[in-house]
Amino acid sequence: MSAGNNLVTINIDGKETQVPAGMNIIEAAALMGKEIPHYCYHPKLTVAGNCRMCLIEMGMVMKDRQTGEILLNENGKPKIGWAPKPAIGCGTNAAAGMYIKTDSPLVKDCQKGVMEFLLINHPLDCPICDQAGECSLQEFATEYGRGYSRFVEQKNVKPKRVQLGPRVTLDDERCILCSRCVRFCQEIVKDDVLGFTDRGSYSTLMCYPDKQLDNNYSLNTVDICPVGALTSTDFRFKMRVWFLKKTNSICTESSVGVNTVVGSREGKVYRITPRRNDAVNDTWMPDSGRELYKEVEREDRLIRYGWGEDAISFKEACLRFKEMLRGGRTAYVASSLMSVEEQFLFKKVVDNYGGPVYGVYHQRKGDGLLISTDARPNLRGALVTGLLKKLPDQDLSELLTRIHSEDVDNLVVYHEDVMQLGLSEEDLRKVRIIFIGTHENETSKIASLLLPLLTVFEKAGSFINQQFRLQKFHPAVPEPKGIRADIDLLHEVLTDKESDGVHIEVLWKEMHEQIPQFKEVNSFKGIPDEGILIENSAFKHLQFCEGKGLHFNPANR
């Protein structure tokens, strides 16, 4: 049941607290900083109540049936009518006058009993289990378990290494039958492919005949599996999770701006997992977005300044860039993959050297969930910073006309492959191309100057998502040797002095002063982890292709 707005007073372990009426007791206790161990409960799924790990004692203040008056005991305190059996915290909703015990001897006994049952057939896989280090079964066994096993019989043997789909591997022996994965597929993705067969301790999770877990959200089942039964085929056996450094980031897959955590070790990214943000992506993310870390080490990564086979230093490249900008008429192709900070600086470059700016509206079929029709993370940023004055077209026909009228000497292309956007090699041979980007493409191959950029995993910055929510990301791994931050590159092009680059906070001070939409944000540090909605009335009239924010939480819909 979703929690209402009216507050009720309940008593948890002797302390009174106010919680929203209807909130379940796991969440209510968490508000007080108390953990009620649980497996099957997940805040974004319906309550199944099958693991019994969250047992609590529940009572209500006793009242006289005739008068309705509260009955008092000999100390003058209200008499509590305790339920004769423990109740499940996930299925008990807060009501006025409710009394809860989460750590009574009975509750502790129940927890020990449940743990013992769960571990009876559980394999001793911890040393080689990918979940070790973030496994609720491990953690609760230590905290709430008996500490030793009384089971002397043979353990059940179940299938191990079952491919449920292209990205998810199941170890059935580790499954505690919590049904989170089943409910996720039914309730969130509406792709009902998982179920249990057989009964009791022989129950086994599997895909329905002729079906597989292959939807683009399948890896969320791995995230929410409380044990190591479901593992990511990509991440499996690659790295122990306790070695991973966690860095908050934003997915660049679309304008939804899914909040993520990048797991890295010693300069290498190993996985991307979703970060909870109830206003954006709840606790989910698409599988396709998790693949994006592979772009860091992709073979076609641009990792040197220069052109063709020739390499020059960063300083030389900046000098050459400036000379080219000064020596001819320039047109610019901006990108909605740029961060807000890059867009702000790129606009300054354009203002400084002059010339028209074009953008491209990359649209594709959204999925109605976390992949929007707008295939870029920061179109709003280009509008807010003033880099683009209007919603861009889906091609570059205006630019093409300009090139045909021999009105352009230099074409600065940021990230885009303009050959995919209506310009031919013959058109491009008429201008000098300065390509600024992370990876090679057909346009970069014929560029007169290549200026490599950092990926989102190597730099700090911010994007403005489809809700006009400003969200920030941080560097998870160092930049490739010799490659400077994107904002340093643009800053260098703007200055004639010796420069060591620019600090992101310096940019934010300027943006705060110059951009009305950022009047509430005066520093990069000041952008909250969950992002902040910015004023967007100036853009209300624009016809964006994907409508308003998408998220799953039924309570928020």
Q: Is 173 helix (H, G, I), strand (E, B) or coil?
A: helix
Residue 30 or 527: the one with the smaller Cβ distance to ligand FES is 30
Partner interacting with residue 88 (select from ligand FES, ligand SF4, none; CB below 5-8 Å by kind): ligand FES
Query: Using CB atoms, what's the residue nearest to ligand SF4?
Result: 129
| DSSP codes, 290-325 | HGGGGGGG-TTB---EEETTEEE-HHHHHHHHHHHH
Smallest Cα–Cα separation from 301: which of 505, 429, 126, 444?
A: 444
Site for ligand FES contains 38 (CB under 6 A): yes
Site for ligand SF4 contains 225 (CB under 6 A): yes
Q: Is 16 helix (H, G, I), strand (E, B) or coil?
A: strand
Residue 174 or 472: the one with the smaller Cβ distance to ligand SF4 is 174
Residues between 230 and 269 with contacts to ligand SF4, criterion CB under 6 A: 230
Provide the mask over 165-194, with x wherever binding to ligand SF4 is found by CB under 6 A and - wherever it is not.
Answer: ---------xxxxxxxx-------------
Residue 181 or 434: the one with the smaller Cβ distance to ligand SF4 is 181
As a whole number of angstroms, the distance between CA 530 and CA 465 comes to 12
Site for ligand SF4 contains 132 (CB under 6 A): yes
Contact 223, 167 (CB under 8 A): no
Contact 366, 546 (CB under 8 A): yes
- Looking at this protein, which amino acid is placed at residue 418? V
Tell me the CA distances in angstroms from 165 to 170, 207, 238, one per residue in order. Answer: 9, 9, 19
Smallest Cα–Cα separation from 388: which of 446, 335, 453?
A: 335
Partner interacting with residue 176 (select from ligand FES, ligand SF4, none; CB below 5-8 Å by kind): ligand SF4
Beta bridge mates, 331: 411
10, 23, 27, 39: which one binds ligand FES (CB under 6 A)? 39
As a whole number of angstroms, the distance between CA 47 and CA 337 comes to 39
Q: Least distance from C-beta 41 to ligand FES, angstroms?
A: 4
Q: Least distance from C-beta 133 to ligand SF4, angstroms?
A: 8
Site for ligand SF4 contains 383 (CB under 6 A): no
User: What stretches of 367-441 show up as alpha helix (H) in DSSP?
Assistant: 379-384, 397-404, 425-428
10, 19, 28, 54: which one binds ligand FES (CB under 6 A)? 54
Which uninterrupted H or E stretch holds 70? none
Residue 52 or 362: the one with the smaller Cβ distance to ligand FES is 52
Q: What is the largest CA-CA distance in the chain?
A: 97
205, 384, 408, 477: which one binds ligand SF4 (CB under 6 A)? 205
28, 51, 56, 490: which one binds ligand FES (CB under 6 A)? 51
Site for ligand SF4 contains 491 (CB under 6 A): no
Partner interacting with residue 363 (select from ligand FES, ligand SF4, none; CB below 5-8 Å by kind): none
Residues that bind ligand FES (CB under 6 A): 38-41, 49-54, 88-90
